[in-house]
């Protein structure tokens, strides 16, 4: 089947169906090639490494723009490219009413996902300090194909793809909870 026909068919799938299909395809390919199941590293202290995929997009991941290591570099969604700027380590810092609370650290820069606490302002990376503006409550795990919200401990706002944009390069911001798919995130 020509590639463009596959792409046209994939656009009709829901984000959930596409992620499930991709997960099954990757796991099956891994098994056929003699590899084991692809698992995110998980540690006894609740720390794990992963990629984050917004619920409203196909094949996009949270990305520090331009693979920047500079403090203040913005976070966007972008095509999956295997770069360390799309890899995040969730380091647990307690719980909030039973929900784990994490610092979310970019593996390329070693800096934390940070918000200024203002609705619709883009999130960015900054040196980790353990400040509430860098703490995020979520039920996500290292391999979670279902969408879950990520709420900032300081502002109470939720991680969000600005304007529910399905396009690569969209700003990742914080916004009031609305239940839309642009506030749901899955891990690999």
> Which CATH number applies to 39-187: 2.80.10.50, 1.10.760.10, 3.30.830.10, 2.60.40.10?
2.80.10.50
- Identity of the highest mean pLDDT range in 5-9, 33-37, 45-49: 45-49
Model pLDDT, residue 27: 31
Q: Is 136 a residue whose pLDDT tops 60?
A: yes
**Which pLDDT tens digit goes with each residue over 24-37?**
333 333 333 333 33
**Which pLDDT tens digit goes with each residue over 149-176?**
999 999 999 999 999 999 999 999 999 9
Q: Which two tokens stand for residue 13?
A: 């799938």
| pLDDT (mean) for 121-144 | 95
């Amino acid at each position: 089947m020509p590639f463009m026909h596959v792409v046209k068919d994939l656009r009709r799938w829901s984000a959930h169906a596409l992620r499930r299909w991709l997960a099954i395809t990757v796991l099956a390919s891994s098994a056929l090639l003699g590899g084991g199941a692809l698992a995110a590293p998980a540690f006894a202290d609740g720390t794990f490494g992963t990629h984050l995929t917004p619920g409203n997009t196909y094949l996009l991941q949270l990305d520090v723009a331009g693979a920047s290591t500079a403090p203040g570099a913005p976070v966007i969604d972008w095509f999956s490219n295997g770069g360390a700027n799309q890899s995040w380590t969730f380091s647990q810092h307690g719980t909030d009413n039973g929900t784990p609370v994490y610092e979310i650290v970019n593996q390329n820069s070693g800096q934390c996902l940070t918000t200024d606490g203002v609705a619709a302002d883009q999130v960015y990376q900054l040196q980790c300090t353990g400040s509430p503006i860098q703490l995020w409550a979520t039920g996500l795990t290292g391999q979670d194909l279902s969408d879950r919200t990520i709420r900032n401990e300081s502002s109470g706002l939720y991680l969000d793809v600005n304007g529910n944009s399905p396009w690569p390069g969209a700003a990742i911001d914080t916004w009031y909870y609305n239940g839309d798919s642009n506030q749901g995130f899955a891990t690999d």
